[in-house]
């Protein structure tokens, strides 16, 4: 009997729901995804124990994910990298050294973001060990399409969560819906899986007339997308009747970094950032700082009730954007809350800040509506 070739196991760090997209793509490549437990307190403690004290929070969590993945038997740990101004370019070397010092054997493989689609192609080629153009193209296709589907589902969740009658229903239904995506085998099944997932979320009973606030969430992409490091900010805001929209998504990032120009329409997030961050910030200073500064202006243009900026403690680009916000505030009239996350961030103080911010936005919104109503009355007279 022919012995079946053992599949290699590959792990990625968590960041929101991205493990679902990676898992589908890895399966398509014939590689076994090994998904470590979603980031939790143990992950953080493992990562923190083996990290330089002042390094940014995502590093500690990613290292923790890798330790848990290796303990669970992965052959490879895979990571994204980009050279340049922030610490992301240093993550790879530091992670490899830390894992080696701990005596772990897993191989480390990197996806270079600055090489765009070519970098992704080469990354998959190395993983599967052959230059199978069709297989690589199919893997890229399912990866990218799944990411866009997941972004859409998160947006749908946010709508229902801000209006749900029974707290927690929308998220429960969202998780049920995700199962349809997890079970997808071919990219042609994604459309139907998405329809079923949205139908599942739409089973949530809602109050359509609830007075809902619309808030954008911007900041360093990892903490914006990672529920653990942002203490599930969108869930907390949803409970307060706030519908959130992430200014940074994996999909928007793909359009800027991976998807070739000929396959995308309209202005990308980064292109908009260069246009709207002026005159406060004129160039890309690393991380997501340029996007964050422009997102405040964009949120105001779109008539949002407020914007929240989240950053990891010691994140260099976001320290810059936070120092630019006072000038932005002088010109723009939109409530802006900045939150800095680290392993010490306590839940109670954090919720109190959110509640105060929501209260401020609600009073402002009512005042503006009242003013508009009065102006209309005057016009009638």
Site for ligand SF4, rule CB under 6 A: 56, 58, 86-88, 220, 222, 287, 312, 315-318
Angstrom distance (rounded) from CA 167 to CA 161: 8
Q: How far is the CB of 290 from ligand SF4 (least distance, A)?
A: 12
Residue 14 CB: number of other CB atoms within 10 A?
28
CB-wise, 225 or 361, nearer to ligand SF4? 225
CB-wise, 110 or 318, nearer to ligand SF4? 318
CB-wise, 31 or 95, nearer to ligand SF4? 95
Q: How far is the CB of 318 from ligand SF4 (least distance, A)?
A: 6
Angstrom distance (rounded) from CA 304 to CA 299: 5
What interhelical angle do 18-29 and 169-182 show, nearest 10? Answer: 10
Q: Which two tokens stand for residue 172?
A: 């429960």
Angstrom distance (rounded) from CA 332 to CA 335: 9
Angstrom distance (rounded) from CA 95 to CA 110: 11
Q: How far is the CB of 264 from ligand SF4 (least distance, A)?
A: 24
Q: How far is the CB of 85 from ligand SF4 (least distance, A)?
A: 8
Angstrom distance (rounded) from CA 319 to CA 39: 25
CB-wise, 139 or 231, nearer to ligand SF4? 231
Helix (H) or strand (E) holding 46: helix 41-49
Q: How far is the CB of 35 from ligand SF4 (least distance, A)?
A: 22
Angstrom distance (rounded) from CA 360 to CA 191: 40
Q: How far is the CB of 319 from ligand SF4 (least distance, A)?
A: 9
CB-wise, 47 or 312, nearer to ligand SF4? 312
Distance, CA of 172 to chain centre: 20
CB-wise, 8 or 224, nearer to ligand SF4? 224
């Amino acid at each position: 009997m022919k012995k079946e070739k053992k599949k290699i196991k590959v792990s990625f760090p968590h960041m929101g729901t991205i493990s679902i997209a990676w898992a589908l793509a890895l399966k398509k490549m014939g590689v076994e995804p090994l998904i470590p437990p979603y980031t939790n307190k143990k992950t953080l403690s493992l990562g923190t124990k083996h990290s330089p004290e002042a390094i940014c929070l995502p590093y500690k969590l990613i290292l923790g994910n890798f330790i848990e993945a290796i303990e669970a038997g992965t052959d490879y740990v895979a990571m994204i990298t980009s050279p340049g101004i922030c610490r992301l370019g240093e993550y790879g070397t530091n992670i490899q050294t830390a894992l080696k010092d701990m005596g772990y054997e897993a191989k480390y493989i990197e996806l270079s973001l600055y090489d765009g689609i070519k970098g992704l192609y080469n990354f998959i080629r190395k993983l599967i060990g052959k230059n199978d153009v069709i297989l690589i193209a199919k893997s890229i296709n399912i990866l990218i399409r799944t990411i866009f589907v997941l972004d859409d589902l998160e947006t749908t969740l946010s709508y229902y969560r801000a209006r749900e009658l029974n707290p927690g229903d929308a998220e429960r239904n969202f998780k049920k819906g995700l199962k349809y995506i997890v079970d997808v085998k071919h990219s042609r099944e994604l459309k139907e899986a998405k329809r079923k997932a949205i139908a599942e979320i739409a089973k949530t009973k809602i109050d359509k007339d609830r007075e809902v606030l619309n808030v954008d969430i911007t900041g360093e992409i990892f903490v914006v997308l990672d529920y653990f490091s942002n203490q599930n900010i969108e869930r907390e805001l949803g409970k307060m009747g706030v519908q959130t929209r992430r200014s940074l998504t994996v999909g928007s990032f793909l359009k800027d970094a991976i998807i070739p120009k000929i396959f995308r329409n309209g202005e990308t997030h980064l292109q908009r950032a260069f246009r709207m961050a002026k005159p406060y910030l004129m160039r890309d200073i690393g991380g997501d700082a340029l996007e964050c500064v422009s997102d405040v202006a964009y949120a105001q243009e779109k008539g949002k009730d407020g914007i929240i900026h989240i950053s990891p403690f010691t994140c260099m680009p976001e320290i810059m954007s936070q120092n630019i916000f006072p000038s932005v505030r002088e010109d723009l009239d939109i409530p802006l809350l900045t939150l800095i996350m680290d392993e010490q961030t306590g839940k109670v103080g954090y919720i109190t800040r959110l509640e105060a911010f929501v209260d401020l936005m609600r009073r402002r919104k009512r005042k503006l509506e009242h003013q508009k109503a009065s102006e209309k009355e005057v016009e009638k007279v």
